[in-house]
Structure 1
């Protein structure tokens, strides 16, 4: 077995308690070890991605217990990509938290940060539904602490809402897991892929109930309408580095939908193949509309960014809901782009709000501040990226989504909604930028309403924009990798054989 597969889970799992137990009173050591852990995680993720790109899926059996009875981790191109995306984001978030001193505003930031990475990476690597639930809970518990980092009444109120919504989602998750296990007798996803087509007709309805409940749970994580309401308040009140890290949290829900429903309820599942597509596409399109409307009507910069996240998830889930290889390639490319763009916007919004004195993040004119030109330029780049304008990767991502929808019966609807909401988002971002930068520049000489701020946090935010530039430059090899990943998703035979073994697959079929 390749023991490197478990490192993205074990490394932060060991580092978090080590930070708490041995250096909880020494912030400098916490920063050093947390930053070193994030960099090491990125190096491991790069190695795992290279391995996944050069060969078939790999299996890691904890305790050498064979699937479907043992706990297994599976590394393929998709899971490796998501771990790499998380690791890259974690390095930028760690840099920003340290350079902006956000980690001094509460206790145990770095330990919770490591636990969060453990849960996210585990969710991407796990090979069965129950352990997906376990890792969901790990990342959620860590996110509760990170959400409340620094205190404050508004943050506490948003945190309570976040906890309640996710506890309800966890309850539904357990009910769904129990229902599916009661029908199939297994929770291993590869084993489910084999057994679901063989379920007797009398049990099909109960199986569909379990699958729909899972879809609801994943939709909660992905902020899909009508259960998106928790995201704007939560992300707007979260500390900036936490909100940036949460950029990948909604992607966990999208990844789970893609992984579970292509593997377990794909074409081989017969009548059950409709479970995600028929429900997901209309909700995704409505989510896109709600997000664009929120961007246009936002009165605060942080809420504008939050609604742009909702809109981006609508675009992403629209592509996923088509459930074709071409649409999945577009979805994965857009997923990478939107993670970078979301993180960049949250970090830039924090820097802008911090420099505007009493005006904060409100979309009102205020005296100019230090580094206005630099922040205006960076905000402009991040805004056009999120809105989907050329030459940034958002344009490429949306173009790929539109192209993949040409074979869909809903092509006209999809094209109309994506193009119109893109225009609305452009107007919303342009309004915010003109109020904060252009109209403020027409005021008299700037008034110093806040002390000078370090430039390093801006550099951390710029790394996300640089990542988008890199994605645009290397779009061709990245797309080639994604095409192979999509092909693996829609032809999961090798995945199943890797997990269960060829002899087990032959017997069960």
Structure 2
């Protein structure tokens, strides 16, 4: 069990590499079996890891026996173990959907899927900011290829913009790392958190430049305004399993913001304390606003789903700007809800699109669905959850965010925008449901493709998470509160990982 912390990285790496070797690489059925088994193993290992962390405390894994801050360290705490469990559960559900036939559009879908999961899990677990960059690059390289899965001019064009933007972001990331290493002499997050409070004068100013460069990079990943423009077109043009997996991509950027600007540049950081907060406040609120406008302007379900991801990113960034244990706890709960619900909506949009012929997922009149009751029920549950209506998890998550506001000024800005975002989602979902399910031309044709059993199973797993998050809401919120307390406690999140350092 001592190696459990590296399993979320090692399992997808091994399964991805195996699927590149013959005879598995030449047989799609072998790849499907391997992918389902790999994601199931990952789900089991991450669930065990979360249980162990919750029972025994933080698990620090030093690769090769080289101890921090000099070696490569993986840190499984309550925050990172929650995120890798979320990734594994979502990946398993998406893979069930993909093996029903959505993986045939291009070669190497399954190994690329595994490599991207490896990068995402590594980004959540790493305790070293340079290895955060390494895992960012792993997940980005896999995502470049996955985006053009199934080809097409629209996908290639969207991918080009995505690649160029992220290459620029990677350059900024390296510049920021270089500046921080030059001023602090380390890139281990716990060690940086201890040393950053000692910086003064010009050295502190230089470190601030590096820290703000990282904020630009993480904001790009999180689709923070004004770096959000790539997301709607990119997500809407991706194949359904890829778009669903990408629902957690923005959360990697948001997680990095919480980790870096709470642990390293938190209240203890001297001249650099809370340096991200003045920037996060206006950008978070503007991100919610622009996302809500995008929701109103969405011509179809896929674009609507993408714009809802932007709204959720803005809401989470607002929690980062509030910068309190209550806000971080609310963000963790809402992050789980919004990721799973968004992924489910991307998959559902694909099923609905295939049953509507040329109308696809657009909000126009078309032939009826082949499975109107099944799709209508799934659409209604997701709509209520994403709008934030009781008794589903979206309501609980938004209530937690609203309650986390600490001053009248925060309440005055956050409450109206969160509620107006919910109103925008309610209006567009009402319009969409009316058009998609009640306004029809003609009748169901033989070409309409019913959802397969595995597709239904994958979507059902993701939808089921919403009522379960409410049913076990007390336990989940207690866990997120403990996770937030750890993240804001410099003694535990920094000194606790470097026992040889004097406090």
8 Å CA contact 1:106, 1:149 repeated in 2: yes
- Report the CA distance between 1:369 and its aligned residue: 2.1
Partner of 1:387: 387
CA–CA distance in 2 between the matches of 1:237 and 1:340? 19
Partner of 1:34: 35
CA–CA distance in 2 between the matches of 1:207 and 1:295? 38
8 Å CA contact 1:77, 1:485 repeated in 2: yes
Structure 2: segments with no counterpart, 5+ residues: none
CA–CA distance in 2 between the matches of 1:195 and 1:31? 48
8 Å CA contact 1:351, 1:458 repeated in 2: no
Partner of 1:7: 7
Q: TM-score under structure 1 normalisation?
A: 0.96
8 Å CA contact 1:356, 1:449 repeated in 2: no
- Report the CA distance between 1:408 and its aligned residue: 5.8
CA–CA distance in 1 between the matches of 2:234 and 2:137? 18
Alignment of 1:189-204 (within 5 A): 189-204=189-204
- Report the CA distance between 1:74 and its aligned residue: 0.7
Partner of 1:92: 93
Partner of 1:493: 491
Q: TM-score under structure 2 normalisation?
A: 0.98
CA–CA distance in 1 between the matches of 2:482 and 2:381? 30
* 3-state secondary structure, aligned to 1:60: strand
Partner of 2:266: 266
8 Å CA contact 2:39, 2:92 repeated in 1: yes
8 Å CA contact 2:199, 2:271 repeated in 1: no
CA–CA distance in 2 between the matches of 1:298 and 1:126? 37
Partner of 1:338: 338
State the superposition RMSD in angstroms: 1.3
Partner of 1:478: 476
8 Å CA contact 1:172, 1:214 repeated in 2: yes
Q: Does 1:419 align with 2:419?
A: yes
8 Å CA contact 1:65, 1:71 repeated in 2: yes
Partner of 1:373: 373
- Report the CA distance between 1:406 and its aligned residue: 3.9
Residue deviations 1:136-167 (CA, integer Å, cap 9, x gap): 00000011111111111101111111111111
| Residues 492 and 51 of structure 1, relative CA distance in 2, 3 Å threshold | farther
Q: Does 1:218 align with 2:200?
A: no
Alignment of 1:110-259 (within 5 A): 110-259=110-259
8 Å CA contact 1:385, 1:392 repeated in 2: yes
Q: Does 1:312 align with 2:315?
A: no
- Report the CA distance between 1:291 and its aligned residue: 1.0
The aligned length equals 502
8 Å CA contact 1:327, 1:405 repeated in 2: yes
| Residues 345 and 185 of structure 1, relative CA distance in 2, 3 Å threshold | same
* 3-state secondary structure, aligned to 1:73: strand
* 3-state secondary structure, aligned to 2:299: coil
8 Å CA contact 1:280, 1:317 repeated in 2: yes
- Report the CA distance between 1:223 and its aligned residue: 0.4
CA–CA distance in 2 between the matches of 1:131 and 1:361? 39
CA–CA distance in 2 between the matches of 1:438 and 1:384? 18
Alignment of 1:10-21 (within 5 A): 10-21=10-21
- Report the CA distance between 1:451 and its aligned residue: 4.2
| Residues 86 and 137 of structure 1, relative CA distance in 2, 3 Å threshold | same
CA–CA distance in 2 between the matches of 1:295 and 1:172? 30
